[in-house]
Amino acid sequence: MSALALALIVAGLALIGWLVARARAAAFRNGSQRFSSLPGHHGWYVALWVIVPPLAFLAIWSAVSPALVTEAVVAQPAAAALPPPGFDRASILSEARALAEGRAYGAFNDLSARLAPFYAVAQARYDWIATAAALLLAFAGGGFAFTHVRPDFRARTRVERIVMGLLLAASLIAILTTIGIVASLLYEAARFFRMVPIGDFLFGTHWSPQVLDARDPGANLGAVPLFWGTFFIGAVIAMAVAIPFGLMSAVYLTQYAAPSVRRWMKPILEVLAGVPTVVYGYFAALTVAPAVRDVAVSLGVTWASSESALAAGLVMGVMIIPFVSSMADDSLNAVPSAMRDGSLAMGATSSETIRKVMIPAALPGVVGGVLLAISRAIGETMIVVMAASGVATLTANPFASATTVTRQIVDLLTGEAEFDSPKTLAAFALGLTLFIVTLLLNIVALTVVKRYREAYE
Amino acid sequence: MTDSPKMTARHVNVHYGPKQAIADVSIDIEQDRVVAFIGPSGCGKSTFLRTLNRMNDTVPSARVEGDIRLDGQDIYAPEMDVVQLRARVGMVFQKPNPFPKSIYENVAYGPRIHGLAASKADLDAVVERSLTRAGLWNEVKDRLSDSGTALSGGQQQRLCIARAIAVDPEVILMDEPCSALDPIATAKIEELIHELRGRYAIAIVTHNMQQAARVSQRTAFFHLGTLVEYGATSDIFTNPRQERTKDYITGRYG
Ligand SMILES: Nc1ncnc2c1ncn2[C@@H]1O[C@H](COP(=O)(O)OP(=O)(O)O)[C@@H](O)[C@H]1O
Ligand SMILES: [Mg+2]
């Protein structure tokens, strides 16, 4: 039976349970007595008991059944010819499975073709078990819940609790997924550091992963030029654009703009934050980068790169402006207006008030916002993929080319990738480093901002 | 009373957008005296007080009409410099609002802006004098670099008074300066007002009638945006001429 049919049957059972329970609950409501639960609550109580147990069972089942199926296949006499556990064995088995499920049309390996029928058989058997168990659970759950449909049963609170449980499960899934991603990142990075000493990676200044010396891969996997390029583009050039413009626009919007101006200008700024970064990316690559090079050439810099750090950084800065502006805007708004009034009442002008009272008072919030902005900038990928260089050079010259961590991750993982070479695994080490740095930045930034919010409560 | 009033207000109207908050108020604020503005909340006491140093300019919807003069000079005249006006007419707010800076910097803020101190020594002297006049010097002289916001509420309010008098104003406006303070801190501020009286003209908004009776020589009773009665504090409290004043003072509403 297909998964869809099973789902429809369970849903149908739930509907029946809902209708029956509701009708039954409605039947004993004839008197004038007050009941804690409406008939609908009883209906939902039964319906949830019909749906949730099979669903939970199937979720767990889908995680464990492939292993069970494989075990059944391996137990067959025909499987004795399989190579010992390792890459080859795994690829034959997965090919056999693909054949059995009709996802592949030809086999590279005879053994796969021979094992495929066993796969189909085992899969069918386990599917039947799953279907039967799911239906059984649906009936059992529904029956169990139905015995509860009595006048004094608090179906309302029970439904509330089940709903809460479901919501909790949903939020746990998000958290667990993140943990899983981080765990796999850690695992792959650990594999990398078994091949390349961590010191070589973190402190080496030479990065050219395309040509690796098999005996000493670490010599060409020094990530310092990447870290520097990321910092230079994301934290120096981009912030040199984003901080002044973001701050000034926030000051204008919160302190000077008439409400009518603010009403249309703030949404426009926020829309800018929603422009897909790839759009900024081709703007950077096609418009800004050539312009920057032309300017450099007219200044007499003959060797200016058309993939300059400056072009990528400038556009990234523009992209971050709305972000800085809205963080600064929030911080300035959080400064009690009593501060402003106090200063104005001393005879200070608006700009004196802003410079000497408002901005200092909002500073922790602004700093926190800037840190968050930096963490976004260094994780930004599309702009640098399109506009930054792929060549790692250690330079502080904004007209020279520079590369970033995110750009290199993309380069390492696109094209032909062998999943156990240091070159590919380096991407995970880079990803882990980036993750740790942005995580720390975010923690620091949020702590600063939180302290600051508390100061004015 | 030989000299003319420090400030005069004639036929003042204030609107917030379409809504009238003050209607036809005329009043004098005299040198060396304390005038108390009393009245039920929402009757426009703060609004009127804020017209006297043009703080209503900071409210976009507010519109002020009428004639208000400081030493005979029209403070709403185009040639009036608001910065100068506010240096001459200081203000203390309902909730203590020290800046998130050190105690010293809080008091030095005004003198710095207005360029009143020629040297660091001058500035130190101004800070000490202001804090002394505000009755705070002895409590904070050893920790001038601590944050002003770390003081107690009553100390913060005296710091705000010190901050206001650091620029040597002629008039001090106080908007319910004690309403956020406990009774002991309140008593200190009231004492301070007595001491400041000889040097500045003071207008104080209060919702506490005993306080008005204790600190002021003149009392103005506002109701629904109008000035109902204005006169010597002793007269207002013992012998009000208006029925509404009498009702308010005896606690019939408020
Ligand atoms: N910024 C403002 N915008 C609009 N209306 C205001 C504003 N400030 C005060 N008002 C209105 O003006 C009236 C007088 O307020 P206020 O002067 O604060 O009274 P009081 O200080 O006597 O309690 C009130 O009705 C109040 O709602
Ligand atoms: Mg008020």
Tokens for B237, please give them: 């409290």
Lookup result for tokens 């005004």: B110
pLDDT of residue A184: 92
Q: Whose CA is nearest to atom 1 of ligand 1?
A: B59
Per-residue pLDDT for A448 more than 50? yes
What pLDDT, in 10s, does the model give residues A186-225? 999 999 999 889 998 999 888 988 887 778 888 888 899 9
B19-29 vs B34-38, strand pairing mode: unpaired
Nearest to A347 among B58, B97, B113 (CB): B113
Contact A339 B97 (CB under 8 A): yes
Nearest-5° angle of CA B190, CA B194, CA B199? 135
Per-residue pLDDT for B20 more than 80? yes
pLDDT of residue A264: 92
Per-residue pLDDT for A420 more than 80? no
Greater model confidence, B219 or A153: B219
Q: Whose CA is nearest to atom 9 of ligand 1?
A: B47
Lookup result for tokens 């529904």: A142
State how far the Cα of B58 lies from the Cα of B119, in Å rounded to an integer.
32
CA atoms within 13 A on the CB side of B170: 14
What is the DSSP-derived secondary structure letter of residue B102? B
Share of chain A above pLDDT 70, in %: 97
B226-232 vs B73-74, strand pairing mode: unpaired
Alpha-carbon separation of residue A215 from A222, A277, A352 (angstroms)? 15, 40, 64
Note the ligand closest to the C-alpha atom of B223.
1
Does the CB of B87 have a partner CB in chain A at under 8 Å?
yes
Share of chain B above pLDDT 90, in %: 78
Q: What are A53-58's contacts with CB under 8 Å, separation 24+?
A: A53/A137, A53/A138, A53/A140, A53/A141, A54/A10, A54/A133, A54/A134, A54/A135, A54/A137, A54/A138, A54/A141, A55/A10, A57/A130, A57/A133, A57/A134, A57/A137, A58/A130, A58/A134
Per-residue pLDDT for A279 more than 80? yes
Per-residue pLDDT for A31 more than 70? no
Does the CB of B115 have a partner CB in chain A at under 8 Å?
no
State how far the Cα of B155 lies from the Cα of B135, in Å rounded to an integer.
9
What pLDDT, in 10s, does the model give residues A90-99? 888 888 888 8
CATH code: domain A217-456 is 1.10.3720.10
User: Which residues does chain A have within 8 Å of residue B111's beta carbon, measured at their own beta carbons?
Assistant: none
What pLDDT, in 10s, does the model give residues A390-413? 888 888 888 888 889 999 999 888
pLDDT of residue B1: 47
What is the DSSP-derived secondary structure letter of residue B147? B
pLDDT of residue A90: 80
Per-residue pLDDT for A140 more than 60? yes
Does the CB of B95 have a partner CB in chain A at under 8 Å?
yes
The whole-angstrom distance between residue A288's C-alpha and the CA centroid of its chain comes to: 29
Q: Whose CA is nearest to atom 11 of ligand 1?
A: B21
Does the CB of B93 have a partner CB in chain A at under 8 Å?
yes
pLDDT of residue B60: 85
Nearest to B53 among A345, A356, A360 (CB): A345
Which residues contact residue A412 at a Cβ distance below 8 angstroms, ignoring those fewer than 6 apart? A209, A423, A424, A426, A427, A430
In chain B, DSSP finds a helix count (H) and a strand count (E) of 10, 10
Note the ligand closest to the C-alpha atom of B44.
1
Q: Which atom of ligand 1 is nearest to the CA of B17?
A: 4
Share of chain A above pLDDT 90, in %: 35
Q: Hey, where are the domains in chain A?
A: 3-165, 217-456
Does the CB of A361 have a partner CB in chain B at under 8 Å?
yes
Residue pair B104/B64 in contact by the 8 Å Cβ criterion: no
Per-residue pLDDT for B193 more than 70? yes
> What's domain B7-99+169-249's architecture?
3-Layer(aba) Sandwich (3.40)
Contact B109 A352 (CB under 8 A): no
The mean pLDDT value for A441-452 works out to 85
pLDDT of residue B253: 60
Q: How far is A336 from chain B (nearest CA, A)?
A: 9
User: Which residues does chain A have within 8 Å of residue B174's beta carbon, measured at their own beta carbons?
Assistant: none
Per residue, the 3-state secondary structure of chain A, as one string, reads CCHHHHHHHHHHHHHHHHHHHHHHHHHCCCCCCCCCCCHHHHHHHHHHHHHHHHHHHHHHHHHHHHHHHHHHHHCCHHHHHCCCCCHHHHHHHHHHHHHHCCCCCCCCCHHHHHHHHHHHHHHHHHHHHHHHHHHHHHHHHHHHHHCCCCCCCCHHHHHHHHHHHHHHHHHHHHHHHHHHHHHHHHHHHHHHHHHCCHHHHHHCCCECCCCCCCCCHHHHECCHHHHHHHHHHHHHHHHHHHHHHHHHHHHHHHHHCCHHHHHHHHHHHHHHCCCCHHHHHHHHHHHHHHHHHHHHHHCCCCCCCCCEHHHHHHHHHHHHHHHHHHHHHHHHHHCCHHHHHHHHHCCCCHHHHHHHHHHHHHHHHHHHHHHHHHHHHHHCCHHHHHHCCCCCCCCCCCCCECCCHHHHHHHHHCCCCCCCCHHHHHHHHHHHHHHHHHHHHHHHHHHHHHHHHHHCC
Cβ neighbours of B31 (radius 10 Å) = 18
Mutating to test ligand 1, I would choose from B13, B15, B16, B51 the residue with most ligand atoms within 8 A of its C-beta, which is: B16
Nearest to B93 among A342, A356, A360 (CB): A342
What pLDDT, in 10s, does the model give residues A280-331? 998 898 999 889 888 888 888 777 788 888 999 999 999 999 999 988 998 8
pLDDT of residue B126: 95
Q: How far is A338 from chain B (nearest CA, A)?
A: 6
Average pLDDT in chain B: 92
pLDDT of residue A417: 66
Q: Cα(first)–Cα(last) distance of chain B, in Å?
A: 33
List the 59-118 stretch of A: residues with Cβ below 8 A of B. Answer: none
B171-175 vs B201-205, strand pairing mode: parallel
Contact B99 A339 (CB under 8 A): yes
Q: Which atom of ligand 1 is nearest to the CA of B45?
A: 22
- Out of A148-157, A257-266, A358-367, pick the least confident: A148-157
Contact B97 A341 (CB under 8 A): yes
Does the CB of B61 have a partner CB in chain A at under 8 Å?
no
State how far the Cα of A216 lies from the Cα of A201, in Å rounded to an integer.
12
Does the CB of B97 have a partner CB in chain A at under 8 Å?
yes
Which residues contact residue A295 at a Cβ distance below 8 angstroms, ignoring those fewer than 6 apart? none
User: Which residues does chain B have within 8 Å of residue A342's beta carbon, measured at their own beta carbons?
Assistant: 93, 97-99, 160, 163
The mean pLDDT value for B94-100 works out to 92
Give residues (CB < 6 A) around ligand 1.
B 16, 21, 39, 41-47, 59, 61
Nearest to A345 among B91, B100, B101 (CB): B91
What pLDDT, in 10s, does the model give residues B129-140? 999 999 999 999
The mean pLDDT value for B151-175 works out to 94
Q: Hey, where are the domains in chain B?
A: 7-99+169-249
What band does A227 get if pLDDT is binned at 50, 70 and 90? very high
Nearest to A332 by CA among A251, A390, A273: A251
Lookup result for tokens 């004993």: A28
The mean pLDDT value for B198-206 works out to 93
Residue pair A233/A399 in contact by the 8 Å Cβ criterion: no
Nearest to B100 among A341, A349, A360 (CB): A360
Contact A361 B100 (CB under 8 A): yes
Report how far ligand 2's centroid is from the alpha carbon of B16 (Å).
15
